[in-house]
Amino acid sequence: MATHESAVKRIRTNERNREKNRYELSSMKTYIKQVLSTTSKEEGLEKFKKASSVLDKLVSKGVIHRNTAANKKSQLMKHVNSLT
């Protein structure tokens, strides 16, 4: 157990950030699943825009790396383009 006051504060901060990141990553996965489950191109494009926005926000907050977001957006766009 930490004994220094600053170490105790860091433990609290890290736990708070971990919970926030878990929530945001979970919501990101939900948006990705929504895009991948679409069957029409129009609906897929709408959901892709929202998922893309969420990914960009997570990058700006530092939750995920920008290349990870780019790879996920590329995968999603590939799926949407394959729809009829």
Q: Please report, for the domain that includes residue 16, its CATH number.
A: 1.20.58.110
pTM listed for this prediction: 0.87
Please write the tens of the pLDDT for every residue from 34-58: 999 999 999 999 999 999 999 999 9
Residue 69 structural domain: 5-82
Give the pLDDT confidence score for residue 17 in this predicted structure.
96
**Tally of structural domains, the chain:** 1
Q: Find where tokens 């971990």 sit.
A: 18
**Crossing angle between the packed helical segments 41-61 and 66-82, to the nearest 10 degrees:** 180
